[in-house]
């Protein structure tokens, strides 16, 4: 199956700072999603982005499919942004999504 | 609109006991999935159902069985629980399967401990 690597594994920010999270994958994908798992364990879908760029408020994401990576940008971070961010990818020839190990983000007030 | 509902939210089992985790979605999605999440790790797919009447193994199917009861419901059964199955279990649904290009909606999870 497709291999997914996320970096950095841990990130600590002061409130108001910006950050970039990276997701590398090993093969062509037909599906790429970013999720936020909050401290209570709930998984929230942030973006469905197999290619191109999308923005939603302070969050944006870019996927460069030809170079097999995706970036999640968080601007003006808030304490509520804390949690784990997962990248998940699905290929053309498989019917399941593979998750990376996640980036744990801590935003300090 | 509840989305994806999982029951129970917490469960403690003794080794060798059996149980069924329930999952239901009200979004008329075709595909449903069961994942497990172990501490400090991402999610791993146990089984999925691309459409009503079909089920397929994922990355870690051993020790589990599933039933796609109808379009709304997808259950996961542990026939003889083992401590290695202590985990948080998530159910998800989507309009199509992972390779078809659709976003996933997750339930809130079931925290299972096997002692």
pLDDT digits (tens, 9 = 90+) for B22-75: 999 999 999 999 999 998 778 999 999 988 889 999 989 999 999 998 999 999
pLDDT average, residue stretch A6-28: 96
Q: Are B114 and B82 in contact (CB under 8 A)?
A: yes
Per CB-CB distance under 8 Å, the chain A contacts of B90 are 43
Q: How far is it, in rounded angstroms, from Cα A22 to Cα A58?
A: 17
Q: Are strands B4-7 and A103-108 parallel, antiparallel or unpaired?
A: unpaired
Q: What angle do CA A24, A76, A105 make, to 5 degrees?
A: 45
Q: Which residue of B has its CA nearest to A94?
A: B99
Distance from CA of A72 to the nearest CA of B (A): 17
For chain A, give the percent of residues with pLDDT over 70. Answer: 96
Q: Quote the pLDDT of residue B51.
A: 87
pLDDT in tens, A18-48: 999 999 999 988 889 999 999 999 999 999 9
For residue A62, CA distances in Å to A70, B71, B97 come to 6, 34, 22
């Amino acid at each position: 199956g497709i291999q997914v690597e996320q970096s950095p594994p841990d990130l600590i920010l002061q409130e108001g700072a910006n950050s970039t999270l990276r997701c590398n994958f090993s093969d062509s994908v037909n599906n790429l999603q970013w999720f936020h798992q909050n401290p209570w364990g709930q998984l929230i879908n942030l973006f469905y982005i197999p290619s191109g760029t999308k923005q939603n408020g302070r969050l944006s994401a870019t996927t460069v499919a030809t170079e097999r990576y995706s970036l999640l940008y968080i601007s003006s971070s808030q304490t509520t942004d804390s949690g784990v961010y997962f990248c998940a990818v699905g290929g053309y020839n498989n019917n399941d999504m593979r998750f990376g190990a996640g980036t744990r983000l801590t935003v300090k007030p | 609109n509840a989305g994806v509902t999982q029951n129970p939210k917490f469960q403690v089992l003794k080794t060798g006991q059996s149980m069924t985790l329930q999952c239901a979605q009200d979004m008329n999605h075709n595909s449903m999935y069961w994942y497990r999440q172990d501490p400090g790790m991402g999610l791993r797919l146990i089984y999925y159902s691309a459409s009503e009447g079909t089920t397929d193994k994922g990355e870690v199917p051993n020790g589990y069985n599933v039933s796609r009861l109808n379009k709304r419901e997808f259950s996961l059964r542990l026939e003889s629980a083992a401590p290695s199955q202590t985990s948080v279990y998530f159910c998800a649904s989507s309009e199509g399967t992972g390779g078809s290009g659709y976003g996933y909606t997750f339930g809130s999870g079931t925290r299972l401990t096997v002692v």
